[in-house]
């Protein structure tokens, strides 16, 4: 009887572990594949506890933990705020698109 209980217990733990990983993977995919409208993107302005996202060339990047985007405003550039599409501005920036390579992506910007 004890052997049967151990086998059943092991099976339940194995199934629970597999289910947990699957659920976590599904959640990750949804977040990374999220499509944003400009209006929805605007909610991620980095203010009042909101995350800070910016779009460039149709890709939405998370800049929440980037020092240069603290409070949802880009320093040293004046007037750049999170929650917006900055495709044109990054083309004119001295650093170009290089900083984007290390940023996490969260989705795409719908047109």
Task: Return d(Cα 80, Cα 42) in angstroms, integer.
Answer: 13
**Residues forming a β-bridge with 108:** 35, 59
Domain containing residue 53: 35-109
What is the tens place of the pLDDT at every residue in 56-99?
999 999 999 999 999 999 988 778 999 999 999 998 999 899 99
pLDDT number for residue 33: 82
Q: What is the pTM of this model?
A: 0.70
Query: The CATH number of the domain where 105 resides is what?
Result: 3.10.120.10
pLDDT number for residue 31: 53
67 and 55 together in one domain: yes
Which of 97, 48, 33, 45 minimizes the C-alpha distance to 74?
45
What is the tens place of the pLDDT at every residue in 4-54?
333 333 333 333 334 443 333 443 434 568 999 999 999 999 999 999 999
What is the number of domains present in the chain? 2
50 and 87 together in one domain: yes
69 and 99 together in one domain: yes
40 and 91 together in one domain: yes
């Amino acid at each position: 009887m004890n052997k049967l209980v151990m086998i059943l217990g092991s099976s339940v733990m194995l199934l629970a572990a597999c289910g947990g990983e699957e659920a976590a993977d599904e959640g990750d995919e949804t977040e990374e594949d999220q499509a944003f409208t400009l209006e929805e993107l605007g909610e991620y302005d980095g203010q009042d506890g909101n995350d800070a996202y910016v779009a460039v060339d149709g890709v939405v990047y998370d800049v929440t933990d980037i020092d240069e985007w603290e409070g949802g405003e880009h320093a040293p550039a004046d007037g750049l705020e999170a929650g917006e599409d900055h495709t044109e501005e990054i083309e004119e920036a001295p650093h170009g698109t290089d900083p984007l390579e290390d940023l996490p992506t969260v989705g795409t910007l719908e047109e």
